[in-house]
Amino acid sequence: MGRLDGRISVVTGAGEGIGLGIARRFARDGATVVIAEVNAETGAAAADAIASELGGTARFVPTDVTDQTAVEVMIDGTVEEFGRIDVLVNNAWGGGTMVRLEHSGGRATTYGHLNEIAASVQPGTQVERGQVIGYVGSTGHATGPHLHYEVEEGGVNLDPLQFNSELEVSVDPPARRAFEKVRTVVTSQLARLPISDRPSAVSLSAASFKAE
């Protein structure tokens, strides 16, 4: 007997990733699983896999968690068919406006709760390191402006502080020397600024650069 024998569970966003993993685990432990997923293809595939591979009972119900009516229909339908809901896992994406970038090596990064996506970022386009892809906001389930950032590889979420990123391309020696020269000039100007309550600024004109 499993720990969840006879229990009725609902897992939102269970078509893939963490949600699918939770649904499969519940099914192994004996629960009936309702796959509440907005993507019809992955949702149906998840329910079929649980039934065929694990011998569990699974139902796919198309559900967009940002649509209150769709959520209510899913809940009412589950209760009507199974009589109750014992477990609810709200795993579906609540990150509002988001950008997902696919990198080489099967790695992907997601940036959520954005106020707006940069106009230059369109589905299928390539982006470059340092390019603006969006603007921080508080869309989705957020209590204030902030950035949701996640990294995954092969469908597994990684700790962004622990994974190894690709090595940076070394800066060409001539470019490095030019940067060091500019930095020396600007640092010198900053050091000569008087202490004041008023804001100050420095500039790098051709004349001042040559004078240094």
Q: What is the pLDDT of residues 52-73, one digit of tens each?
A: 999 999 999 999 887 889 999 9
Cβ atoms of 121 and 133 within 8 Å: the answer is yes
**Which run of H or E residues covers position 99?**
strand 97-102
Exposed e or buried b per residue across 177-189, where buried means at least 16 C-beta atoms within 10 angstroms of its C-beta = eeeeeeeebbeeb
- Which CATH number fits the domain that encloses residue 127? 2.70.70.10
Nearest-angstrom CA–CA distance, 162 and 179: 30
Closest CA to 127 of 140, 141, 109, 148: 109
Nearest-angstrom CA–CA distance, 113 and 142: 7
Nearest-angstrom CA–CA distance, 158 and 150: 8
Cβ atoms of 86 and 10 within 8 Å: the answer is no
pTM equals 0.51
Q: Is residue 3 part of a domain?
A: no
Q: Which domain holds residue 73?
A: 8-89
Query: HSE of 153 in the Cβ direction (CA atoms, 13 Å)?
Result: 10
Q: Are residues 82 and 103 in the same domain?
A: no
Q: Is residue 12 part of a domain?
A: yes
Q: Are residues 142 and 108 in the same domain?
A: yes
Q: Phi, psi (5° rounding) for residue 66?
A: -85, -5
Report the Cα–Cα distance between both ends of the chain, in Å, rounded.
Answer: 80
The C-alpha angle 200, 201, 204, rounded to 5 degrees, equals 155
Q: Is 13 helix (H, G, I), strand (E, B) or coil?
A: coil
The whole-number pLDDT of residue 135 equals: 94
Nearest-angstrom CA–CA distance, 106 and 33: 29
* Span 123-172, pLDDT tens digits: 889 999 889 999 998 887 777 888 989 888 877 778 888 766 666 667 78
Q: Are residues 81 and 101 in the same domain?
A: no
Tell me how many domains the chain contains: 3
Last residue of a domain, one of 67, 89, 111: 89
The whole-number pLDDT of residue 59 equals: 95
